[in-house]
Each structure stands twice: as structure tokens, then as C-alpha cells.
């Protein structure tokens, strides 16, 4: 299993709109693509003073499945135009980690 981690920051006044865009359009659009090996996404949000930080972790079975989502340059961030309008700044590249343990209650 591969975790694809990405960070984006908004101004506080754009945070709720960005959160809603992710949930109502972007995540649904990803789900509707039926990408082989895609296993879901987690969204984290944190008030960071003058900004609001968002972290996503997407789950894939393999790096080949990540490439099916993001393309050959699979580390490049996939940020739709509507999201770019609401973000103050964001990671240009995503990080990918192999899951070595998954201990949940």
C-alpha cells in the first residue's frame, strides 16, 4: 500500500469554501474515475494562525496505480483550477510512502 501525502494552505476566509470544494467536487471526481488500485482519501485540516493547512493522504495499492491517477511524473501535485483559486500556496510535489504497518483498533 502506498500513501500519497500532499499539503495546501488557504487564508482563513477561504478555508470553508476549499473544504466544501474538496468534499463535493474533487474527491467525488476522483472516486468517479474508477482508478485501479485507488483505495480512498483522508482529509486533515488545521488552523495555523494566519492560514489554514490542509493535508490529504490518498491510498493506492502500488506506484503504478498512483501513475494511473497522476501521470508518469507521479510526484507532481494534481490541483484543479478551482482549488488553485482558493489556495494561498501548496506543495508542487506529493510525497509517497510505502505503508509498513497499519495498526488500528
pLDDT in tens, 68-82: 999 999 999 999 999
Domain count, the chain: 1
Q: CB neighbours of 100 closer than 8 A, spacing ≥ 6?
A: none
Q: CB neighbours of 18 closer than 8 A, spacing ≥ 6?
A: 8, 10, 52, 54, 83, 86, 87
Q: Are 52 and 16 in contact (CB under 8 A)?
A: no
The tens-digit pLDDT sequence of the chain (105 residues) is 999 999 999 999 999 999 999 999 999 999 999 999 999 999 999 999 999 999 999 999 999 999 999 999 999 999 999 999 999 999 999 999 999 998 888
Question: In this predicted model, what pLDDT tens digit does every residue of 49-59 receive, in sequence order?
Answer: 999 999 999 99
In a domain, 40, yes or no: yes
In a domain, 105, yes or no: no
In a domain, 55, yes or no: yes
pTM as predicted: 0.93
In a domain, 9, yes or no: yes
In a domain, 76, yes or no: yes
In a domain, 80, yes or no: yes
In a domain, 91, yes or no: yes
Domain ranges, residue 80:
2-98
User: What is the model's pLDDT at position 104?
Assistant: 82
Q: Supply 71's cell numbers.
A: 501521470
CATH of the domain at 79: 3.30.70.100
In a domain, 103, yes or no: no
Give the DSSP H or E segment for 60.
strand 52-60
Amino acid at each position: 500500500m502506498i500513501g500519497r501525502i500532499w499539503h495546501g494552505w488557504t487564508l482563513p476566509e477561504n478555508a470553508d469554501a476549499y473544504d466544501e470544494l474538496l468534499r463535493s467536487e474533487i474527491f467525488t471526481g476522483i472516486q468517479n474515475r474508477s482508478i485501479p488500485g485507488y483505495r480512498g482519501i483522508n482529509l486533515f485540516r488545521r488552523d495555523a494562525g494566519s492560514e489554514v493547512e490542509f493535508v490529504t493522504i490518498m491510498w493506492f495499492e502500488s506506484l503504478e496505480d498512483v501513475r494511473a491517477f497522476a501521470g508518469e511524473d507521479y510526484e507532481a501535485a494534481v490541483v484543479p483550477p478551482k482549488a488553485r483559486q482558493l489556495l494561498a500556496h501548496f506543495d508542487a510535489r506529493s510525497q509517497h510512502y510505502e505503508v509498513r504497518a497499519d495498526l488500528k483498533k
